[in-house]
Chains A and B, each alone.
Chain A
Amino acid sequence: MRHIISILLENEAGALSRVSGLFSARGYNIESLTVAPTEDPTLSRLTLVTRGSDDVIEQITKQLNKLVDVVKLIDLTEGAHIEREMLLIKVNATGNMREEVKRLVDIFRGHIIDVTDTTYVIELTGTGEKLDAFVDALRGAGIIEVVRSGVSGIARGERSLRA
């Protein structure tokens, strides 16, 4: 099963490597990882996507909780939540593809944020699946570069992750 685990971490040198080191040392996989400071600059929020059986996920959360730099964590996938990822993509935009790409961007509700005679840079936010679909749709145009932020997420309603 795919799980999104969100962690409040002491914003200290080396804290991130404790988390990533744990995953490599114990053979857990990380599909994506994002991290940035929160409104409290002494805390970072780290979101990671991992896969594993219930037993493995239980160990992952227990082992993460054991790290001294981890203040709190939540498995977002245990409840209703919102998941978002941002994509920046640079594609060829010449001839009739210029219009075609623009049309696709509108359908997916993205934005063209940089334009040259031959290229577009497009920004799109959504779930991972939506970004996958968009990237697929653009294959015909000729993709030059893809940058994805990795998944971040937040619980719906009352549930929250606070120090």
Chain B
Amino acid sequence: MELTGAEILVRCLQDEGVEYIFGYPGGAALHIYDALYKQEKVKHILARHEQGATHAADGYARSTTKPGVALVTSGPGVTNTVTGIATAYMDSIPLVVISGQVSTALIGNDAFQEVDTVGITRPCVKHNFLVKDVKDLAATIKKAFYIAQTGRPGPVLVDVPKDVTAQRCEYVYPKEVQMRSYHPVVKGHPGQIKRAAEMLLGAKRPMIYSGGGVIASEASRELTEFTRALGFPITNTLMGLGAYPATDPLFVGMLGMHGTYEANMAMHDCDVLLAVGARFDDRVTGEVKQFCPDARIIHIDIDPSSISKNVRVDVPIVGDVKNVLSDLSKAMKAAKKEPDKQALSVWWKRIDGWRKFDCLGFDRASSLIKPQYVLETLYRLTKGEAFVTSDVGQHQMWAAQFYKFDKPRRWINSGGLGTMGFGLPAAMGVQFAHPKDTVVCVTGEASIQMCIQELSTCRQYDLPIKIVNLNNRYMGMVRQWQEFFYESRYSHSYMDALPDFQKLAEAYGHVGMRIEKPADVEGALIECLKLKDRLVFMDFITDQNENVYPMVAAGKGHHEMHVSPSQARAMEDRELA
């Protein structure tokens, strides 16, 4: 039977097993919306802004192993998705974005709500398509899902002109995709793997540094077994948190700009570094000239262009992390050699010395609410089991430092693009994927206002998200940089005329709370978590002047961290004693 393009599109989504799509209608997409209306399999979630829809699809993808799907109209609908698409692109998240377009006859005429969608999104997608003939539609959708999820994942956009959604043709959904120009590498090179095994077994001060690629590759188990078998210290990037259990003794915390003292010092002093599914981002490496000065580096990554891009490596291994790690384990066993136990124990003694310094310590006697205390308590009360999304700023770093993720896909944040406004809509996607679980959005009063309208979506679909707003009345991270690097000239980082968030939440039909005293923090969180089926907006009035420590300033090496004044004093005392 012949179907219209719109019907074909919806059938493709059904056959692809898509449960939710996040979207917003408009003229060019109306045939598609009509086709959606006539079926029940694919559930459409109406966001309040296309950026929100895209982040929600992204949050859904990050918290599952499935791609996220968004549907928007042409022109402003699609330009509103660009931030969301770029966010997913930077963090290699599989998304399929379907956009309506003006009819093919009008393309190029500056028609109403026409933009060059393929042109605008080209630099921030893994690939994109403009479908000009309904006969190509099903095959293109199939390719879009395939490209988004394979190799290094990423967003793929399919632009569909309105007349194409009205044309009819026979529907066949292809079973598989053959593309002569696209063959992601999966297996690592055996010779390189052997070299890596030998290098690791010869290490005296080894270090494992793993990133989001481990999560994308579903390789947490392999990474954990591999690391435990060797007893090597391991650090995770911001994107990799949860890939290795944070409560495990071999885990030395996050590394990089706001990484732990022990992780950064161990990076600086290691002699063999194994980088797994990580991309040597500048926030991770600090000054590259001072990066791991004594180390020989092994790098496993599925994307050849990630290798030796920022830092030259000695043993590059292109391949899927999961495959390569299990091959590497085998190669190490075959080498019939043990790691140097004695050297390792000396190395651990040094690391434990760094650990004792307690770099995340903060003032517990303060009469003001310390943001760290809120997150530490949240962690304890949720037993580390919650899905935590965040926005961007100080609160994001504190969440990363104080919430110990033992499982992958629980920590959902915009690491690469650093998109304020991500947290709440991402939490919606996570909550749809995990309706029974606790989903917390850790945010700041500046970030939350960038997609605050999604509170309305949460009401419509009864999403019981818990919002932890660490309200310091500043764009805290900006204020911190201005304090450190601009002699405390707080240029436009102060948020005057903030709304009453408690009332705002109530106006949207949710529960609002305002917490002003440290003594009330725990009780309020307990109460909030008890309200299982309500969205609760918790507005914590926190210490305005708190800073995130440790900090490796841009251009500095890992060993040149700023530490908090109180911890610096403690360190001195210990050295004097």
Residues of A in contact with B (beta carbons under 8 Å apart): 10, 13-14, 17-18, 21, 25, 55, 58-59, 62-63, 65-66, 68-71, 163
Contact = CB atoms under 8 A, between A and B. Distances in A.
A68 B303 contact: no
Tell me which of B122, B127, B179, B305 has the highest count of chain A C-beta atoms within 10 A of its own C-beta.
Answer: B305
Contacts of A58: 308
A69 B129 CA distance: 11
Contact of A10 (B181, B307, B308, B312): B181
Chain B: number of interface residues, binned into ranges: 10 to 19
Interface of B: 118-119, 122-123, 126-127, 130, 147, 179-182, 303-305, 307-309, 312
B304 A14 contact: no
A65 B127 CA distance: 13
Nearest to A8: B181
A147 B119 CA distance: 29
Given A17-B122, A58-B308, A59-B305, A68 B179 contact: yes
A68 B126 contact: yes
A68 B123 contact: no
A163 B180 contact: yes
Contact of A63 (B119, B126, B182, B305): B305
A25 B86 CA distance: 14
Contacts of B303: 66
A72 to B, nearest CB: 8
Main secondary structure of the interface of A (DSSP, over half): helix
Nearest to B305: A62
B141 to A, nearest CB: 15
Contacts of B309: 59
A68 B123 CA distance: 13
Contacts of B147: 68
A104 to B, nearest CB: 45
Given A62-B304, A70-B181, 7 more contacts: A14-B122, A62-B305, A62-B307, A68-B147, A68-B181, A71-B180, A163-B180
A122 B418 CA distance: 57
Contacts of B119: 17
Nearest to A18: B122
Nearest to B126: A68
B305 A71 contact: no
A69 B179 CA distance: 9
Contacts of A68: 126-127, 147, 179, 181-182
Contacts of B122: 14, 17-18, 21
Contacts of B304: 62, 65-66
B209 to A, nearest CB: 21
B157 to A, nearest CB: 12
Nearest to B151: A66
Contacts of A69: 181
B118 A14 contact: yes
Contacts of A18: 122
11 contacts: A18-B122, A21-B122, A55-B308, A55-B312, A62-B307, A65-B304, A66-B305, A68-B126, A68-B127, A68-B182, A163-B180
Contacts of A163: 180
B388 to A, nearest CB: 32
Contacts of B126: 68
A66 B184 CA distance: 9
Q: Which one of A10, A13, A62 has the greatest number of beta carbons of chain B within 10 Å? A: A62
A19 to B, nearest CB: 11
A58 B123 CA distance: 20
A68 B127 CA distance: 7
B417 to A, nearest CB: 15
A13 B305 contact: no
A14 B126 CA distance: 14
Contacts of A63: 305
Contacts of B181: 10, 68-71
A13 to B, nearest CB: 7
A18 B122 CA distance: 7
Nearest to A71: B181
A18 B118 CA distance: 10
Contacts of B182: 68
Contact of B123 (A10, A25, A71): A25
Contacts of A71: 180-181
From B147, B181, B303, B307, residue with most partner A Cβ within 10 Å: B181
A58 B308 CA distance: 9
A109 to B, nearest CB: 39
Nearest to B118: A14
A77 to B, nearest CB: 20
A45 B156 CA distance: 25
Contacts of A55: 308, 312
